[in-house]
Amino acid sequence: MLPFKIQLRSIIATTLTLSLAVSSFATLAADKIYRLKLAETWGPNTPILGDASKNMARLAEEMSNGRLVIRIDSANKHKAPLGIFDMVKSGQYDLGHSSSYYWKGKVPNTLYFSSMPFGMISTEQYAWFYHGGGMELMQKVYAPHNLLSFPGGNSDIQMGGWFKKEINSIDDLKGLKIRIPGFAGEVMARVGAAPTNIAPGELYTSLERGTIDALEWVGPAFDLRMGFQKIAPYYYTAWHEPGSETQFLVNKKTWEKLPADLRTILETAFRVAAFDMYTQAIDANANSWATMSAEYSDIKVRDFPPQVLEAMQTATEELLAEQTNHDPLAKEIIESQKQYLTKVRAWTDISSKAYLNN
């Protein structure tokens, strides 16, 4: 159906006596089209991550009957995949889709809203965001930057990565050259590994030639086409990103100029697109793992030994303690997550975990 405003305007155009009414209509919120621009970190047509914004924009446009029109610029257009925070903060873009931990160098407390090593799994984390105070803490971090932030879709639990050799003890990590960026890389460094960051296009060759001994990428849905299974047979289970949430960013001035119904439409479209990305990621991981494990029967799925996991968990806690020491807001967020995790995991243990083990 063509939107109401088109029909309204044709009536107005043919009724010249209505000049007073015309000016009144023009100011009505229900008649105005809001054209918003969104910048995303991902390249064009990136599956799963890139589908979240497309689904969100389509829903917002349909629910608003064409009053909300969102143009999506992928990284090839704006050339600043890691500049989303700045571009939405400045108002160059109204909206962004990215991942909160990309801004930890700029605003350290953004780190905590993506996923934390040994932290909550996706469902626990959604419960924390929406019912355990997570949303409020996220706004506290983003508000000083003229931004609102919303969960933007979960890419599901991430695997621990591909290793050429089996890890049997903490000694096997000493000096290990592993591609693992960000906070998890800091943890790896603290237990003796040599973390490094390498451009995605060079990962396969680096691993093949021995420039690196191991790498973490995402999970089967993203790993399959990268081909790491052909050259590094050990696929380690999760520890560092148990529930990786992306984010929608909104410029506060854009938000404030939207009428109430369009705000609710936008917020709801964010929320549904986020949940939908999560179920899509589960489905894609299940399909890709089925393909991968059938075609490459040599893949050896391994858990890190308890000694290694303990060392990495201790390193995580030490690094977090350093944050809480000099930043009261970091302390508040870390403690909120820790308390919620303790409570919700006790339930997960007797429910999902017990069921899956039975």
Residues in 309-328 that interact with a second copy by CB under 8 A: 309
Near a second copy in 268-287, by CB under 8 A: 268-269, 271-272, 275-276, 278-280, 282-283, 285-287
Exactly one of 28, 33, 143, 321 binds a second copy (CB under 8 A); which one? 28
3-class secondary structure, 195:
strand
Among the listed ranges 72-80, 107-115, 126-134, 177-185, the one in contact with a second copy (CB under 8 A) is 126-134
Binding mask 186-205 for a second copy (x = CB under 8 A): --------------------
Residue 161: Cβ within 10 Å count: 24
Q: Per rule CB under 8 A, is residue 231 in the interface with a second copy?
A: no
Tell me the closest approach of the beta carbon of residue 102 to a second copy, in angstroms. 23
76, 43 contact by CB (below 8 A) = yes
Residue 69: closest CA among 61, 80, 78, 79: 61
- What's the DSSP call for residue 351? I
Among the listed ranges 79-87, 105-113, 171-179, 300-308, the one in contact with a second copy (CB under 8 A) is 300-308
Residue 277: closest CA among 85, 66, 122: 122
Tell me the closest approach of the beta carbon of residue 143 to a second copy, in angstroms. 23
Q: Per rule CB under 8 A, is residue 1 in the interface with a second copy?
A: yes
Q: Per rule CB under 8 A, is residue 135 in the interface with a second copy?
A: no
3-class secondary structure, 301:
strand
Exactly one of 26, 33, 143, 290 binds a second copy (CB under 8 A); which one? 290
Tell me the closest approach of the beta carbon of residue 145 to a second copy, in angstroms. 27
Nearer to a second copy, 215 or 344 (CB): 344
Tell me the closest approach of the beta carbon of residue 275 to a second copy, in angstroms. 4
Tell me how far apart the alpha carbons of residues 34 and 262 are, in angstroms, rounded to a whole number.
9
Tell me how far apart the alpha carbons of residues 282 and 154 are, in angstroms, rounded to a whole number.
9
Residue 113: closest CA among 129, 132, 96, 97: 129
Near a second copy in 34-93, by CB under 8 A: 59, 62-65
Q: Per rule CB under 8 A, is residue 226 in the interface with a second copy?
A: no
Tell me the closest approach of the beta carbon of residue 309 to a second copy, in angstroms. 6
CA distances from 282 to 59, 167, 277, 279, 289 (A): 21, 27, 9, 5, 10
217, 223 contact by CB (below 8 A) = yes
